[in-house]
Structure 1
Amino acid sequence: MPKLLQHPRCKDFYFSPLSHGPLTLAYVTISSKYNHKLSLHVKKTLKNIRKCSFYKAIDLITYISNIFERNYLLQILYSAVTYTENNHSSNLLKLWIDDIYIKKIPKSNNFIQSSNSNLNSNYYIIIILGFEYKELPTKKEPVW
């Protein structure tokens, strides 16, 4: 029985080198605007789902106690996965979250000053999804 090897990018996947040809990996970057302040629990959860498969990430997000934050993050992930399935022919079983981070961008209106600095910035959740796919076989040219 062949030894299972860990996937080079995702810590949840294992594969047999005999059953696969070369791995063909592709990545999609998706950005989503988040208008509210993120709690520490959400930030910690987002940090924990890096390099996890899609199903493991969904499982970890369901433990978030705030219903609004949980539903928003689930909506982002489901939308991103649907996009990759429809436009890149990815396999849901071979999909993982390669990286996820939060980008804080200050608002451009400097005339309105506020005592709270969180109101003067926008948050963007940036997700880099990785997926594995098989390349289509190429048609061989006839010799004659």
Structure 2
Amino acid sequence: MVCAIILYTTAGTNVAIVPTDPADENVYGWVREMPQYLIMACNLYNIPWRLAYNWSFAESSHNPKKISHKEAYGRYQIKKVWLDDVCRLRKIKFPKNWQAYLLDDKNNCIIWAWSVNFWRRRGHSDKDIAQIWLFGLTGFREGGYSARYEDVIFNY
């Protein structure tokens, strides 16, 4: 199966098509690679980015932090999540079931997010890799967020 992920910024001005090859049927294995594809796209299109996980692992294009997959994903937990620097200043608290998100540093917006709880609430099994959701946040407000979402996986 060949897939493409369309990456949007909230302004709608930066669009990247990222080829993927989810050879691993395990959804965790596939999602583990997703941020790397998105980072490559952001770098290609000059989109400043910041990646944050719920286990406090974070890196950004201006402050990379190297950590092994084994170490990062070995800390898989569901707990309260706070985005780093920019969002902390805005006092924005995100739902505890969010697992990972890619933050556009320039526009202070989320351009990709994934949640295992959201995934499971929609009735998908761990091995169902037919869908993943892109949340384009239309804007921040104190204590919450507004969002739109759409399917971004296309099979050829």
Higher percent of residues as helix: 1
* TM-score, reference length from structure 2: 0.27
* TM-score, reference length from structure 1: 0.28
Pair member with larger Rg: 1
Q: Which has the higher contact order (CA 8 A, sep 6+)?
A: 1
